[in-house]
Structure 1
Amino acid sequence: MISLIIGAFFSILNETLLNIAFPQLMVELKVSASTLQWLATGYMLVVGVLVPASALLVQWFTTRQMFLGAMTLFTVGTLVCAIAPGFEFLLTGRLLQAAGTGLMLPVMMNTILVLYPPEKRGAAMGTIGLVIMFAPAIGPTLSGLILESLQWRWLFFMVLPFAVFSVVFAFIYLKNVSQPTKPKVDVLSIILSTIGFGGIVYGFSSSGEGHGGWTSPEVYGTVIVGGIALLLFVFRQLKVKEPLMDLRAFKFPMFSLTTILLIIMMMTLFSTMSLLPFLFQGALGLTVFASGLLMLPGSLLNGLISPITGKLFDKFGPRALVIPGSAFLVIIMWFFTQVTAETTKTTFLILHICMMVSISMIMMPAQTNGLNQLPPRYYPHGTAILNTLQQVAGAIGVALFIGVMSSGQRKFLETSTDPTSPAQMAQAMVSGVHNAFMIGLGFAVLAFLLALFLKRTQSAKE
């Protein structure tokens, strides 16, 4: 578990490590915000495309082979990012990092389901929550601290030795926990999965790039193609004897409910983490370091609370945590819709802390509860489904919210008497972020309504 946690922490950390550097990278690499978002969206897109195949790979390769292969890919990607001469090379390195992350997440989740009985999984998943929740949450803070005195390349140079250490540590200590069964490889399923998930995320990402938005054939065309491919993928999985991703896991009601709840939560989490740096630096005029520092307490608390919520889940079940957590999130998101350029830093600090606490009360308890209902043969498929949809939801969330923010900014400046003045530009940023947070509030309300239907689960019989 230590081997897996070390590797996963640094790979997942990279999902948000660059977010706070976006305004700086826009200037240095001479690209727009919507182009630059591909460093975040592309990362999650690759993870989302790769994770469906992980259910198959986990059954084809040993734990050691999967983890060492994933970490080696991630390490090579980190090196490419560190020495990248321009945006294209930086994006290539990010995609290599993402390939490593996409293969690692399901290995970690599947290992927990194999090693721990259902009554102890909450605490184990809580420890993993330190990684899955804490790493992306603390990414902006760490990068803010680094960027205050060093160039953006150090965001990767500093991760590199830890990645190498993780490979060496795992090579020495990591043991295999499952035996490969080598099921049949269905190539058509892999193709449909890649086109389906890839098309939908690409379409959403392109919608914010200003080429006509949703009226552009490139945008709605890829979403339609992706949607059709996904439908064909679903039919294919229900038809073949050995599916790539066994969607019969959805016949277990709490697993289905958990999946929808986690999709909403990931869209809210990743989009909020992307919006706040723009708001802090664009509207409040804060430095990169100050922005990172403002998000530090919430990030730390989020990581520290995850193991506690895991233990509370083992004792009291999901409803005692998820219902109050989601109610709390609705209140926090409403407050975020009320912020202005005059809102104090203390208010932002408190709101961010409260949001991270509420998310830690929802994510891991709900996820553990959903997976607990599955019979053992569905473990690789259940973890693949949850990880795939969370990553795709995060990618769509970032694209959607940054698109809404950019659109709100444009509309405000079009009606402005002096669109070039710093005060008006700050107001435009606040206006755009307001629009995005209103959608976030809608998601939070939906999460609360779903939480009311949660029930404690036992492992179901086939």
Structure 2
Amino acid sequence: MVDNNIDNTVDKRTALGIISIGFISFSGIISETSMNVAFPSLMKFFNVSLNTVQGLTSFYLLDVAIVMTLSAFLKQKFLERQLFFMALGSFLLGSIICIFSINFPMLLLGRLFQGISTGIGTPLLFNVILDRIPHKVIGLWMGIGSLIISIAPSIGPSYGGLLVSTAGWRWIFIGLLTLPIIALFIGNRNLSNSVRIKNIVKLDLVAFILLSTTLTSFIIGINSIAKGNINIILLIVFLLALGMYIWRSLTSSKTFLNIRVFSNSFFSFSLLLFGIYQFSNLAVNFIIPIFLENSKGTGSLLAGFSMLPGTLIGALLNPKVGKLYDAKGPKLGIIFGNILLVISLSILSINTDQLSFLTIMFLYIGFTVGRNFPMNTIITNTLDKISLSDKTNANAFFQTTNQFLGSLGTSVASLVVSNSTSLEKGTHNLFILLLCLALFNFIGVFKILNKKSLD
């Protein structure tokens, strides 16, 4: 008699290999989330505006998104250990540049190298999980992967606030140098390559350039609006690049993202909802420290700490979300989470100017848990059900959307605040916008849950 439990086991080396890759993504995300708390200090140090300094987040996320568009190609072209060391080296180089930055462009350059690292490491993490973890426990391990990279936002603001208030912003990057060393030690000993033949594939460089141009022109255009300018040329470039990218993707025989996966309406709606949750997440993460520091007079350390309980609880719940999916399917996690998200955003929107540090901290717990449940369930449900041939491309689109919509969320938050009469009014308007998006998500949620088959 065959032991059915054998299909559910994950050997120690596989688990440690996954964790070592997760440290790369963890490092990139903690450097990203710790930056928001440092914005006021960086504005003074480099003598730049809020719209300029928020580029450290929005262009970092854009950089990550662009690199992630290559993940399907990289998976076919390179072995896992090669990608691991590429990500590791890029993060180390970026951190060193940031540590020794003497001007804002140099700091931005270092952040871009860190973005390349995250753009390689995060899809690699989930591709290894999808390839090597048994189907019966895929929800649990997708939750563990999400835990590794989502616990970083719970630490990032407090970590950044502590170092900015005591040692200075450069120590954010100095302290992070320890994480790649740990990842190197664990990964070098435990991460193995898949037993497969590397495909001889040719990158569709034209499609990559066109998509990169599309994403970049869109984000720069949003940022220019925040500064009071509507750039018609950027709009034309965006529309032309998008149209040409779609045409190229449908006609080229070379390897890049396969947009034909969007013909599957189940995937398309799932990706849209997933993107909205990430948009809301980064928009709120951007505005809360600034609102507390500049409107409520809260110090950088406490401003960062305000998000610690919420993101920590949300991160620790990720494996539970995965186990809930394995046991009950997607419905319970998605609907419960979206209801909690609507409730927390409703309260944040009612009397924004009356919000205190403690009120924001507790409401942020509800916001984060409410976002995590549907967001993590949706990506697991989609990648679990979509065809094997589309799985790598679907994961690439999820990871790219995760970063691009995060970048867009940061840019739109800056746009809303910059074009409001006060920081309090801008924060209120942003919460109202996010509440509307959460209510809209109910439409898409019921559509994907009522989907009977994957067309």
Q: 1:160 to 1:34 in 2, by over 3 A?
A: same
Q: Which residue of 2 aligns with 1:453?
A: 447
Matched, 1:185 2:203: yes
Change (3 A) 1:174 1:457: farther
Counterpart selection for 1:115 from 132, 144, 153: 132
1:443 aligns with 2:455: no
Structure 2 residue 26 is matched with structure 1 residue 14:
no
Q: Distance in 2 between matches of 1:235 and 1:433?
A: 40
Structure 1 stretch displaced more, 449-458 or 344-353: 449-458
In the alignment, which of 300, 317, 323 is matched to residue 312 of structure 2?
Answer: 300
Q: 1:257 Cα shift?
A: 1.5
Q: Show the counterpart of 1:347.
A: 359
State the superposition RMSD in angstroms: 1.9
Checking the alignment, whether the CA contact within 8 Å between 1:41 and 1:205 is kept in structure 2 is no
How far 1:442 moved relative to its partner?
A: 1.4
**Structure 1 residue 321 and structure 2 residue 339: aligned?**
no
2:112 maps to 95
| Cα deviations by residue, 1:402-456 (Å, 9 ceiling, x for unpaired) | 1111110xxx2xxxxxxxxxxxxxxx21111111111111111112221122338
Residue by residue over 1:98-150, the C-alpha shift from the partner in whole angstroms, topping out at 9 and shown as x without a partner, is 01111111111111111124332110110011133222343112211222311
| Residues 31/114 of structure 1: CA separation in 2 closer, same or farther (3 Å cut) | same
Distance in 2, Cα, partners of 1:197 & 1:182: 28
Structure 2 counterpart of 1:430, from 424, 444, 455: 424
Structure 1: state its 5+ residue gaps. Answer: 413-427
**Which residue does the alignment assign to 1:401?**
413
2:222 partner letter: F
Q: How far has the Cα of 1:280 moved from its partner?
A: 0.4
Query: Does the C-alpha gap of structure 1 residues 273 and 291 become closer, same or farther in structure 2, counting only changes over 3 Å?
Result: same
1:311 to 1:459, Cα distance in 2 relative to 1, 3 A:
farther
- Tell me by how many angstroms 1:268 deviates: 0.3
- Gaps of at least 5 residues in structure 2 are 1-17
- Whole-angstrom CA distance in 1 between matches of 2:167 and 2:441: 40
Q: Partner amino acid for 1:142?
A: Y
Output the TM-score relative to the length of structure 2: 0.92
Q: What corresponds to 1:24 in structure 2?
A: 41
**Hey, what does 2:5 align to over in structure 1?**
none
Query: Cα distance, 1:459 vs. partner?
Result: 10
Does residue 196 (structure 1) correspond to residue 190 (structure 2)? The answer is no
SS in structure 1 of the partner of residue 69 of structure 2: helix
Distance in 2 (alpha carbons) for counterparts of 1:363 and 1:138: 20
Matched, 1:356 2:356: no
Structure 1's 460 and 121: CA in aligned 2 closer, same or farther, altered over 3 A? farther
**Contact 1:318/1:456 (8 A) holds in 2:** no
Query: Aligned in 2, Cα 1:178/1:249: closer, same or farther, shift over 3 Å?
Result: farther
Q: Distance in 2 between matches of 1:69 and 1:11?
A: 14
Task: Note if 1:56 corresponds to 2:73.
Answer: yes
Q: Pick closer, same or farther for the CA change 1:5–1:458 going to 2, 3 Å.
A: farther
Are 1:385 and 2:419 matched, yes or no?
A: no
**For the structure 1 residues 233 and 80, does the alpha-carbon distance in structure 2 shift closer, same or farther, using more than 3 Å as the test?**
same
Output the amino acid matched with 1:201: I
**Amino acid of the structure 2 residue aligned with 1:136:** P
Q: 2:233 matched to which residue of 1?
A: 221
Letter of the structure 2 residue corresponding to residue 213 of structure 1: N
Equivalent position of 1:266 in the other structure: 278
Whole-Å Cα distance in 1 between the matches of residues 290 and 240 of structure 2?
35
User: By how many angstroms is 1:458 displaced?
Assistant: 10
2:89 to 57, 72, 75: 72
Q: Is the 8 A contact 1:125 1:307 kept in 2?
A: yes
- Could you say if the C-alpha distance between residues 94 and 133 of structure 1 is closer, same or farther in structure 2, counting changes exceeding 3 Å? same
Task: Write the deviation string for residues 75-113 of structure 1: whole angstroms up to 9, x where unpaired.
Answer: 110111111112111111001100111111111111111
Q: How does 1:202-213 map to 2 (within 5 A)?
A: 202-208=220-226, 210=227, 212-213=228-229
Partner of residue 335 from structure 1, selected from 347, 352, 362? 347
Equivalenced residues, count: 437
8 Å Cα contact 2:213/2:238 also seen in 1: yes
Q: Does 1:372 align with 2:373?
A: no
Sort the Cα spacing of 1:6 and 1:457 in 2 relative to 1 into closer, same or farther, 3 A: farther
- Report the TM-score when normalising by structure 1: 0.90
CA distance, structure 2, for counterparts of residue 58 and residue 432 of structure 1? 42
Counterpart-to-counterpart distance in 2, 1:229 and 1:35:
25
Distance 1:301 1:134, change over 3 A: same
